[in-house]
Amino acid sequence: MLPTLGGRIQTRIILLAIVGGIVTAIITPFLPLQGAPLSVAYKTTFLILAAVIVVGIVWEFIYHFIMQWRWEKDWPTFFGLATLINEGVVIWLLLHFNLIPGIPGGSQNVPTSAFVIDFLAVWIVFWLWVNGPMRVFNIRWRFFGGRLV
C-alpha cells in the first residue's frame, strides 16, 4: 500500500466503518457472547468497531511516522496484517479495564474468545478488501494515497 497520512485516516474511518460494519453485522449473532440478547451483542461489537476506528487514528499517525524510515515510503502488505497484533492487544486492554464507554454490562460480558473472533474477522476481511477488490469499486483510491474524498 502507498498511503498518505490523510489517506490512511480516511480509509481507516470510512472503509473500516463500511467493511467492518458489514462483517460485524454478519458475525455478531454467531459470537460466543454468553447468550446475550442480540441488541446487546450488536451494541457491544459495534462499540468495539468504533473503538478500533477511533484508537486507530492514533495508530495511523504512528504508522506514518514509522513509514518515514522506509526509502520506498510504502506500507508493505504484511504490515497491514501484522498490525492486528498491536491494535488487538490495545483494544483488548481497553476492554479489560472497562475503558470503552457504553459496553452493556461492562467488559466482563465480553469473553476473550468472542473478542478475538470478532476482531480477527473484521481485520482480515478488511485487509483482504483493501489489498484486493477495493480497486474495482474506486479507481482513484490507490492513486491518491487512500483518500476517498
Partner 1 sequence: MSDRPTELPGSIDPSMPGTIIRERPRAAAGPVAEQGAAPGSGDLTEELLKSDQWTDDMLARAGIPVGDVSLVSIGGGIGSFVTVDYLRVAGASTDRIKVLSNLDFPWQTYEYLTRVSQIPRSARIRSDSASRPDNLWGFPSYALTEAWQEKNWRELWHVFAEPMWADFYTPKAGRVFQGMERESKRIGWDQMLVKGQVRMVRKRQGGGYFIILTPKAGATPTKRVAYRAEYVHLAVGYPGLRYLKELQDFRTEHQDFYHVVSAYEEHEHIYEAARTKPITVMLRGGGIVASRVLQRLMDDRETYHLQTQIVHLFRTFIDGPHSPAEQKIRPWSKRPGSNGFAYQGFNYPKSVWGGQLKAEMRRLEGEQRLTKYKQMGGTNTPWRRNWQAAMAKGRREGWYRILQGTVDDMKLADGKIVSMAKTQNGPLELAADYIIDCTGLEADITEHRVLKDLLDHSGVGRNPYGRLDVERTFMLRGTQSGPGVMYASGATTLGGYFPGVDTFLGLQVAAQEICDDLARRGFCHKIGTFRSFSQWMKWARNKQP
Name the residues that contact partner 1, by CB under 8 A: 1-4, 7, 67-69, 71-74, 76-78, 81, 132-133, 135-140, 142-145
| Residue carrying the nine cell digits 442480540 | 38
Task: State the nearest-atom distance from the C-beta of 24 to partner 1, in Å.
Answer: 22
CA 58 to chain centroid: 12
Task: State the nearest-atom distance from the C-beta of 132 to partner 1, in Å.
Answer: 6
Smaller CB separation from partner 1, 88 or 145: 145
Smaller CB separation from partner 1, 2 or 90: 2
Which backbone phi and psi does 99 adopt, to 5 degrees?
A: -95, 0
Smaller CB separation from partner 1, 38 or 82: 82
**CA–CA separation, 94 and 55 (whole Å):** 10
Phi-psi region of 34 (alpha: psi -120 to 50; beta: other; left: phi over 0): left
Q: How many residues does the chain have?
A: 149
Smaller CB separation from partner 1, 14 or 40: 14
**CA–CA separation, 54 and 32 (whole Å):** 25
Task: State the nearest-atom distance from the C-beta of 143 to partner 1, in Å.
Answer: 4
Task: State the nearest-atom distance from the C-beta of 131 to partner 1, in Å.
Answer: 9
Which backbone phi and psi does 130 adopt, to 5 degrees?
A: -70, -20
